[in-house]
Amino acid sequence: MNPSTAPQTAAQLASRFGLALQGDGHATVVGVSTLARARPDQLAFLANPRYRAQLAETAAGIVILRAQDAATYAGTALLADDPYSAFARIAALFDALDDVRPGIHPSAAIDASARIDPRAQIGPFTSVGPGSEIGADVIVGPGCAVGEDCVVGAGCRIGANVTLVKRVRLGKRVLIHPGAVLGADGFGLAMDGGRWIKVPQLGGVSVGDDCEIGANTTIDRGAMDDTVLEEDVRLDNQIQIGHNAYIGAHTAMAGCSAVAGSARIGRYCLIGGGAGVLGHLELCDRVVVTAMTLVTHSIREPGEYSSGTPLMDNHSWRKSAARFRQLDRLARRIGGPASAADDKDTE
């Protein structure tokens, strides 16, 4: 029997997760849902004030919410300072990680010099190259290509069609979603007599424990040193990490963002969707970059940073955009600094 389907009472959950209980301790749930769609045997949560109006109408058997929201709620509630985090921990009861079924699929192509832990599971149509090592309690999905000299630490989960090219070292419990490519050549080129010559990429990729890497994300290997993700870095889908970038622990990046070569991102940073960080820059810890911002210089102070212009209807936007072209002329007319270059906060 799958323990994830064991019913849970409100009293059990309150005790297990250290939450205050309001209402009926015998209220029992078998799963989770949203406020709008939960059935009486499901648990929901209220974190975003945007959804507060749904509280009056929810059919959820148990709701996790903040104490101040609970005052007006007549149903059974679990009180949490951070309802989303409490919900995350409870929801995990109902969706455990897939169990490892140890063994190598008969179709897999394993190099004679590769070492596969007997407790690892290797899917069909997966190849493992010379000198690579797959740890205990690992699942490597179907269609993966693990190249040479790679290490996959204990407890990792590698989705389907993932490629680890060369010299990729994963810590423990790293989760990689399908289609990701780690360890491809960094984009290193030198112009020589009118033609590009390729700069060899002799480094690797080092990924710390508990990192998560989204679908179709790419992380290039370093030119000489490694490209590094410290522990607990969380990357969404379709992110690009250039060669020799260094991402500090607990940093999270949203979909389609990118960090160019040799940039160094601090710990606990949040990089918004579609944002970009140019090469060789440094961001200190706890920097927040809003969506689709381009970071063009190093950031030394924690805080939130942005670029871009606000959303406008196209007719109005065209007028503002045309004036943007004239900005320096307009500023001079009203006696702004004589030259933009005189302004000390100019890039």
Euclidean distance between CA atoms 56 and 342, whole angstroms:
58
> What is the size of the binding site for a second copy (CB under 8 A)?
134
- Report the nearest approach of a second copy to the CB of residue 155 (Å): 13
Which residue type is seen at 84?
A: Y
Which positions ≥6 away from 229 have C-beta within 8 Å?
205, 206, 207, 208, 211, 219, 235, 241, 247
- Report the nearest approach of a second copy to the CB of residue 124 (Å): 4
β-strands 77-79, 20-22 pairing: antiparallel
Q: Which of 20, 40, 320, 338 binds a second copy (CB under 8 A)?
A: 320
Build a one-symbol-per-residue string for 97-116: x at contacts with a second copy by CB under 8 A, - elsewhere: --------x-x-x-------
| Residue closer to a second copy (CB basis): 26 or 92 | 92
Euclidean distance between CA atoms 18 and 16, whole angstroms:
6
- Report the nearest approach of a second copy to the CB of residue 67 (Å): 18
330: contact with a second copy by CB under 8 A: yes
Q: Which of 11, 30, 59, 91 binds a second copy (CB under 8 A)?
A: 91
| Residue closer to a second copy (CB basis): 2 or 314 | 314
Q: How many CB atoms lie within 10 A of CB 299?
A: 18
284: contact with a second copy by CB under 8 A: no
Q: Which of 48, 68, 112, 118 binds a second copy (CB under 8 A)?
A: 48
Of the ranges 22-30, 57-65, 114-122, 286-294, which one interacts with a second copy (CB under 8 A)?
286-294
CB 214 within 8 A of CB 233: no
Q: Which of 20, 52, 323, 338 binds a second copy (CB under 8 A)?
A: 323
310: contact with a second copy by CB under 8 A: yes
303: contact with a second copy by CB under 8 A: yes
Exactly one of 26, 105, 177, 243 is catalytic; which is it?
Answer: 243
280 is catalytic: no
Euclidean distance between CA atoms 64 and 170, whole angstroms:
36
Short-list 123, 214, 219, CA closest to 175: 214
| Residue closer to a second copy (CB basis): 8 or 240 | 240
| Residue closer to a second copy (CB basis): 154 or 295 | 295
Within 119-178, the residues that bind a second copy by CB under 8 A are 123-125, 127, 141-145, 147, 159-161, 163, 165, 175, 177-178
Which positions ≥6 away from 244 have C-beta within 8 Å?
186, 203, 222, 223, 224, 225, 226, 227, 261, 262
β-strands 195-198, 189-192 pairing: antiparallel
Q: What angle separates helix 10-17 from helix 83-91, to the nearest 10 degrees?
A: 110
DSSP notation for 278-292: -TT-EE-TTEEE-TT
Tokens representing residue 294 in the block? 């381009």
Of the ranges 8-16, 59-67, 71-79, 332-340, which one interacts with a second copy (CB under 8 A)?
332-340
| Residue closer to a second copy (CB basis): 72 or 347 | 347
DSSP 75: S
- Report the nearest approach of a second copy to the CB of residue 76 (Å): 19
Euclidean distance between CA atoms 175 and 218, whole angstroms:
14
Residue with structure tokens 């989760």? 175
Within 209-248, the residues that bind a second copy by CB under 8 A are 210, 212, 214-216, 218, 220, 224-225, 232, 234, 236-238, 240, 242
Q: Which of 115, 252, 284, 286 binds a second copy (CB under 8 A)?
A: 252
- Active centre residues (catalytic): 243
